[in-house]
A = this chain, B = another copy of it.
Amino acid sequence: MLRAHSTFFNMSGKLTYKQSGVDTKEAQSFVSDIGAHVRRTQQNRKLHQAFGLFAAAYDLSTYEEPVIVTGCDGVGTKSEILFDLDMPETAGKDLVAMNVNDILTTGGDPLLFLDYLGISNLEKERARITRLVSGMCDYLQSCNCILAGGETAEMPGVVPANIVEMSGFCIGCVEKRQLVDPTTVREGDIFVGYPSDGFHANGWSLVRRVLAEHPGLLNDDELRGILAPTRLYHDVVCHLRSRGVVPKAFAHITGGGLPENLERFLGAHGADLHIPEWENDAIQKVLAFVDEEDRYHTFNMGIGWVAIVRPEDAELAQTAGPGGTVIGTLRKGAGIHVNTK
């Protein structure tokens, strides 16, 4: 994870790297702390070369026509509240899910994940980021994605104390003929929505503003509830594939909500979506203070994943994940309009 540095003790009155605020022995201990977690992600897949070189290698020669898919994302301002509440494992799961779900929209199989963690002091943060990495590896192990490396950068003076700056990066691969191609959508295709586990990792600047303006709106349990990690939709995608459903398109509902995350690839097509009431008391307490229109363009509103399928596949698709439900039909004419049943 972390580049090895050496530490020398000062015999000369001149500065050593450790005295400048970067403790590299601590860094090596941290690398061993997380080693067991990293190995959990490499039980079914292996890197092509030994760990410890400058880059991680993965062999794609078993693919006939490999297309790699990649994305980069973070957790945004949700991370601050997660760390305030001592929930680093959730931050790690959010970081993985925000990236892996994007890869899954293409039909790609997530193969490699890398993380970047910026901290002010490794000694102070070591226990917390080890828990963060363990959360990452729980999710990565569940979708057979290797934690291939990354960087934990100790940056005294750049990263504030008690903040962990996080970004993640995922690479997947898919046979060219199996790439999900949203240009294949046709009038009459069916939108199947799958439930989210909460606000996931978008819209938290707004949520935090509401909570700041209405102290006591949520109790501690309610707050922890709406902070549930972003759902990983790997199981839904695998079930669809195992049942022979070929999706026309997948959408991961993040910032911008259902409208922006569907309009971005639907072009001249659109839909009037009818989604179930978001049955979560704590979330409804927050939404009560959010503009009625803006909420649909900021939050997932209870639907974190959408599959667009042929009409004949709709019934099977609904069974691919708990709570799967038809939310609309593709029509001519651009624009996604959403209302709650």
**Chain B residues whose CB sits within 8 angstroms of the CB of A289 once the complex forms:** 14-15
- Minimal Cβ-Cβ distance residue in B for A118: B165
Q: Which residues of A from 152 to 175 have beta carbons under 8 Å from B?
A: 153, 155-160, 163, 165, 167, 169, 171-173
Bound CA–CA A5/B14 (angstroms): 52
- Minimal Cβ-Cβ distance residue in B for A179: B57
**Chain B residues whose CB sits within 8 angstroms of the CB of A208 once the complex forms:** 20, 157
**Chain B residues whose CB sits within 8 angstroms of the CB of A290 once the complex forms:** 14-16
**Chain B residues whose CB sits within 8 angstroms of the CB of A298 once the complex forms:** 5, 17
A330 interface residue, CB < 8 Å from B? no
* Min CB–CB distance A100 → chain B (angstroms): 10
A159, B153: Cβ atoms under 8 Å?
no
Bound CA–CA A163/B155 (angstroms): 12
B70, A112: Cβ atoms under 8 Å?
yes
A205, B17: Cβ atoms under 8 Å?
yes
A105, B54: Cβ atoms under 8 Å?
yes
Question: What are 9 of the A-B contact pairs (CB < 8 Å)?
Answer: A4-B256, A57-B68, A58-B69, A60-B63, A61-B65, A61-B66, A77-B155, A116-B167, A151-B167
A268 interface residue, CB < 8 Å from B? no
**Chain B residues whose CB sits within 8 angstroms of the CB of A259 once the complex forms:** 6
A3 interface residue, CB < 8 Å from B? yes
A209, B67: Cβ atoms under 8 Å?
no
**Chain B residues whose CB sits within 8 angstroms of the CB of A56 once the complex forms:** 69-71
B149, A72: Cβ atoms under 8 Å?
yes
Name which of A45-53, A129-137, A216-224, A240-248 contacts chain B.
A45-53
Bound CA–CA A69/B60 (angstroms): 11
Q: A14-B290, A67-B57 are in contact. Are A6 and B105 (CB under 8 A)?
A: no
B49, A293: Cβ atoms under 8 Å?
no
* Min CB–CB distance A184 → chain B (angstroms): 13
Bound CA–CA A6/B262 (angstroms): 13
Chain A 1-36 interface mask (CB, 8 Å, partner B; 1/0): 001111010111011110111100000000000000
A264 interface residue, CB < 8 Å from B? yes
Give 4 closest A-B pairs by Cβ, nearest first.
A116-B167, A61-B65, A20-B206, A169-B169
A252, B54: Cβ atoms under 8 Å?
yes
- Minimal Cβ-Cβ distance residue in B for A18: B294
**Chain B residues whose CB sits within 8 angstroms of the CB of A4 once the complex forms:** 256, 260, 264
**Chain B residues whose CB sits within 8 angstroms of the CB of A10 once the complex forms:** 291, 294
A304 interface residue, CB < 8 Å from B? no
**Chain B residues whose CB sits within 8 angstroms of the CB of A105 once the complex forms:** 53-55
B176, A59: Cβ atoms under 8 Å?
yes
- Minimal Cβ-Cβ distance residue in B for A74: B153
- The listed residue (B5, B11, B163, B165) touching A291 by CB distance below 8 A is B11
- Minimal Cβ-Cβ distance residue in B for A209: B20
A278 interface residue, CB < 8 Å from B? no
A52, B8: Cβ atoms under 8 Å?
no
* Min CB–CB distance A131 → chain B (angstroms): 19
A203 interface residue, CB < 8 Å from B? yes
Q: A165-B159, A256-B6, A260-B5 are in contact. Are A48 and B21 (CB under 8 A)?
A: no
* Min CB–CB distance A222 → chain B (angstroms): 19
A321 interface residue, CB < 8 Å from B? no
B255, A5: Cβ atoms under 8 Å?
yes
